[in-house]
A and B are shown apart, each in its own frame.
Chain A
């Protein structure tokens, strides 16, 4: 479908960040081509009909952090953005449950049932995390400066951030430091006592990382999940109608509206360079496209170790990229269901099925699940973050039927003996058995199951080692260190070669932020 012999910019990878960058560049009048390896756009934000009539948000499944300026600037509402509320968390237990909603009073009464102290503390905790989230937001929204050899704009950015940090209250600064360094379990222990509450909150600090709730650094990832806002309200989760793939399509429609060309089934083999300068790309099929700049939306490993020759890059940089931690720790199980799961602790249909369902009864449960992974096995009883998209959006499944999305942790990429078909099925069985402990009817209502191991996430979606964030969100690889020092501002050691994926600042999740900020950085000097 390509009509041009030369583009202003070629973007490798039609994930949501690549599409966002494309839309911004096209909006600025640039001739842009997006090249996607698969038949469908979205990367890890993709909706596919894996079983006839049932639509799965195959990988990523919720929206929280999508930036409001991206929504406005790319006019996403006009192109199909519809984020439905998803504002409760249900933690089933063996004989009881914990059910938190967006209604403060209802949640207070519910936590009070288990711990009057926690119920009161919870009212203070949410606003505090929101405030700290707000305090951190400017850092996330700044192009990461190079602290070693700062340019004038880097100095301006650093000064701004310094002033911002100076403006924090003592209390906020203290908590910010704690969140940056502590484990989520230790941090939450300072506040709460009821284990299922602590474990469910701590669980958001382990998502996508190879750490347990007691691993230092996990508190920051928990904060990362508090930085979302929808319609001005902090920490609200949402579900895009039609699944996360529909969000990618929304961004793609915006990019096309601004004039971008998008090709699917167009896998890129190499970035073509000349005198250490990117001049185009070569596809697997031999086709070549020329362009002034090339932007990779892939993870840092693929961007630097596969798409270009190592000899094009400085050896210390190569070393940094090789050391970049990208260990996959999670899998995904998507189910087509004949009916709704019936939870023993809270039977029947109800509002608890409209939000997240968290299998996280206590710290030890999560830590034991991590122990399995530490020694090279998938968790026999894994942590799970589950949603029922069809309850929120009935068009995801045929009338009366349902789809269930289970994010499952831990499943190490480097599993003992390697992943194979039978191990994948064993992993799927462990997930179903764990579910059945809380909702025994689950086994009778499964019409189809799709099990994705970290290996599958790598093979099918191009996520190296199956890491959902293109690299762990741990302190040593955030901000000016993401993915490597000196190259955290979306530039690379190769001239006219840029990066815009989740492996760049501010990291993973459906934010549009790396794509947006990369495009703005590029346009700034163009």
Chain B
């Protein structure tokens, strides 16, 4: 419904929530295609097709509204020890101004969710997550002097991702971004408006996330669009993001794994080891939730590995040629569990995949039985050619598929 008393204000006729940037994004969205994200409307793509948005992430600068992320404020004298207890990483080595990516687990060592821990100040943290986690956090804070608050609606967030993102921010930031390292954050001002900028994102490229007071959100959006114009800044939706996150091999809740909080059966749950997140588990540090189970799992490893696979072009092309078609490549990222075989025996399943426009390669993320998950192993990937199931070879490869130097480097 458009509010006729205030033509400047656009109100979507929706029961879903709209983000603080909706006034801008709703007008820019040419396709009017939206997905649900955490109860919000989130742009699927702004153009009629997502290609241009994808290439903005990889070659220019992409502006994404990531406000639907859940955000929790954790403060108080026990905040640090609380965080260290909740997540699998060693928060005691997380410096002020540092950000850590981490999963968190239930007592059985099965992953509930994953997100980032931002160390904002002494005993002052922010946790971002894909799903609501307030109850879990509160339930696990018994006896600790810590104040946990759901800040999801109090902080608007934009991701500015891509090779030109630093140049754009340097034009308007009161502090230079040149020395901000990967997974660090700073407080700065954009044209005088205070914001926090973290060098984080979900694209696997050079990029930043900007944490903003919602009342200033439109101003910040406009400043970025204006100063970013000559750097090719492009509003980008979830379709393009999905391709880039697969290229970066970043997992997605409810797609690549199911939260142990809502898995109906045990088999659907995954440990960090089964998601390729071994590096996030501090087995030698203080106790954390799920540590005992994970210690046991480390001694007797799970049968499942999480890997990248590349579907081999020549055979794929041949299968399509047989029916007179050019190779059928997915135009968008897919999320349908797809079987993987070794000699006609199913040994795994891919959970998300896409044609990578920058790598010119068909890639997927997959859960594979450990016996068949060695790098360079050949498996058979199921495709459908003209409604008929076929098997075509895929090779297990190192991840991330795409990992440009600029993601972590600083100028000079």
Contacts and interface: CB of A to CB of B under 8 A. Distances in A.
A110 interface: no
Interface stretch (B65-73, B151-159, B354-362, B364-372): B354-362
Contacts of B47: 351
A82 B313 contact: no
Contact of A394 (B48, B60, B313): B60
A354 interface: yes
B307 to A, nearest CB: 20
Interface stretch (A226-234, A444-452, A515-523): A226-234
A229 B326 contact: yes
B132 interface: no
B230 A400 contact: yes
Contacts of B329: 231-232
A231 B52 contact: no
Interface stretch (A101-109, A318-326, A432-440): A101-109
B328 A232 contact: yes
B326 A71 contact: no
B55 A84 contact: yes
A76 B58 CA distance: 16
**Chain A contact patch, size range:** 20 to 34
A72 B60 contact: no
Interface string B32-65: 0000000000000001110110010011100000
Contacts of A229: 326
B232 interface: yes
Contact of B313 (A72, A76, A81, A83): A72
Interface string A387-400: 00000011100011
B55 A85 contact: yes
A401 B48 CA distance: 27
B363 to A, nearest CB: 12
Given A82-B58, A400-B230, A231 B48 contact: no
B52 A85 contact: yes
A181 interface: no
A232 B231 contact: no
Contacts of A82: 55, 58-59, 358
B49 A102 contact: yes
A72 B230 CA distance: 33
A213 to B, nearest CB: 29
A399 B358 contact: no
Nearest to B171: A399
A399 B358 CA distance: 25
Contacts, number: 58
B164 interface: yes
Contact of A241 (B48, B49, B59, B361): B59
Nearest to B361: A77
A136 interface: no
Interface string B225-237: 0000111100000
Nearest to A78: B359
A68 interface: yes
B327 interface: yes
A84 B59 contact: yes
Nearest to A236: B51
Interface centre among A71, A101, A232, A354 (most CB of B within 10 A): A232
Interface in B289-324: 313
Contact of B49 (A76, A103, A134): A103
Given A77-B358, A103-B48, A231-B357, A394 B327 contact: no
Given A81-B360, A231-B357, A394-B60, 14 more contacts: A68-B360, A77-B360, A82-B55, A82-B358, A85-B52, A85-B55, A106-B48, A134-B326, A229-B326, A231-B355, A241-B59, A394-B164, A395-B164, A399-B231
23 contacts: A71-B360, A76-B360, A77-B360, A77-B361, A82-B55, A82-B59, A84-B59, A85-B51, A85-B55, A103-B48, A231-B360, A232-B328, A232-B329, A232-B355, A354-B52, A393-B59, A393-B60, A394-B60, A394-B230, A394-B231, A395-B164, A400-B229, A400-B230
- 9 tightest Cβ-Cβ pairs between the two chains A and B: A399-B230, A394-B232, A232-B329, A400-B230, A103-B48, A85-B51, A232-B327, A84-B55, A77-B360
Interface of B: 47-49, 51-52, 55, 58-60, 164, 229-232, 313, 326-329, 355, 357-361
